[in-house]
Amino acid sequence: MQLFVCGGNDRRSVVLNVQAGENIGEVLNKYQLKEGFPPDALRVTFQGKLLDHDKTLDSYGIKHGDSLNAIVTNKKRFRVPRDFYFPSSGGREGVELTISESSPENRYRLSLAINRGLKEMVQIVGADGAEPRAGLFDIKSHDKVFQVAEYSFSDLKPEFEGEHSTVVSILSSVDMSSASSVHERQTALIGDAGRREAKYLNARAQLRKARQTILHMERTISARGRTIDEQQRATQELTNTIDMKDGIIQERDAAILSIQADNTRLGQQNATLEAERLRGDRLVC
């Protein structure tokens, strides 16, 4: 049977398929899958009566088409289910991501994009406070995407400044505290209306990447230039040191040669004197 559960942040009704023998807690588990509110963060009433989470629907006489009223009592416990966010690399660009079978919502949306012939897609990958954070992806296969870029909403808006943007319009209308709102906007972002904008964002991201690459190359070239200059200075200092040492060595070699010449001359003089002494040409005192 079907029940209407009214509550959450926007007080709208959500239709749930349930069984009469299910307890209130089980019904709220199904409500959580659609709206993201955990059962222990809700107080539920039927016809003004507070319901016990452990009791069944039929014990309260709740029938097909009845409405329950869910009141959020602990908003701090609220968290949009992970499946409603598309996989994110955490801000790191140029990363291939695999969408696992445990993320049926994300696999469904990727399949929907592929069936529509999209090569790029924009999806909500998280939140910065109350604002969505969007990821731009290249579609690689039925379960793989390549994250080209990631934008906060405040970063994304200037990309389309001065013109109407379907992507910005969809993201500006999402209620990040409502899982159903996130789900609806995720699906809307895959529509054909965003095809041109996704291509534009992809081109801008590639241009930004190219600029970053050029800037990195310029910095690398500049750093290498400084390194070469430092090496040349070091080489020149080493050359100067070698030249100075060569000069010292030459001076020492010249001094050694001079000493050797003096020694040779003195030796010759001594030999001459000794020869004269032996001949008796000189008086020896």
pLDDT in tens, 111-156: 989 988 888 899 999 888 778 999 989 999 999 999 988 888 888 8
Report how far residue 254's alpha carbon sits from residue 252's, in angstroms, rounded to the nearest whole number.
5
Closest CA to 136 of 124, 122, 153: 122
Q: Which of 180, 205, 230 is the last residue of a domain?
A: 205
Q: Which of 182, 205, 228 is the last residue of a domain?
A: 205
Q: Six-digit token pair at 167?
A: 């992507």
Evaluate whether residue 282 is within a structural domain.
no
Same-domain status, 87 and 201: yes
Same-domain status, 140 and 171: yes
Q: Is the pLDDT of residue 72 over 80?
A: no
| Range of the structural domain that residue 165 is part of | 82-205
Q: What is the pLDDT of residues 211-242, one digit of tens each?
A: 778 888 889 898 998 999 899 999 999 999 99
Report how far residue 14's alpha carbon sits from residue 178's, in angstroms, rounded to the nearest whole number.
12
Same-domain status, 44 and 156: no
Same-domain status, 89 and 70: no
Angle 9-12-18 (CA atoms, 0-180°, nearest 5)?
110
Same-domain status, 49 and 112: no
Same-domain status, 30 and 91: no
3-class SS of residue 282: coil
DSSP H or E segment with residue 208: helix 195-279
Evaluate whether residue 223 is within a structural domain.
no
Question: Averaged over 89-117, what is the pLDDT?
Answer: 85
Report how far residue 228's alpha carbon sits from residue 214's, in angstroms, rounded to the nearest whole number.
20
Closest CA to 56 of 22, 30, 25, 26: 22
Q: Which of 23, 49, 77 is the last residue of a domain?
A: 77
Evaluate whether residue 272 is within a structural domain.
no
Same-domain status, 68 and 179: no
Same-domain status, 93 and 193: yes
Q: Residue 29, exposed/middle/buried by CB under 10 A (0-12, 13-18, 19+)?
A: middle
Evaluate whether residue 70 is within a structural domain.
yes
Same-domain status, 119 and 195: yes
Residue 23 near residue 53 (C-beta atoms within 8 A): yes
- The pLDDT value recorded for residue 128 is 82
Same-domain status, 23 and 91: no
Report how far residue 73's alpha carbon sits from residue 69's, in angstroms, rounded to the nearest whole number.
12
Number of domains, the chain: 2
3-class SS of residue 270: helix
Closest CA to 119 of 14, 34, 190, 173: 190
Residue type, 55: K
Evaluate whether residue 24 is within a structural domain.
yes
Same-domain status, 111 and 168: yes
Evaluate whether residue 275 is within a structural domain.
no
Same-domain status, 106 and 186: yes
Q: Six-digit token pair at 108?
A: 């469904």
- Using 50, 70 and 90 to split pLDDT, how confident is the model at 271? confident
Non-local (6+) Cβ contacts of 146 within 8 A are 94, 95, 96, 97, 137, 138, 140
Evaluate whether residue 16 is within a structural domain.
yes
Tell me the pTM. 0.54
Evaluate whether residue 137 is within a structural domain.
yes
Question: Averaged over 25-50, what is the pLDDT?
Answer: 83
CATH code for the domain in which residue 6 is found = 3.10.20.90
Higher pLDDT, 27 or 197: 27
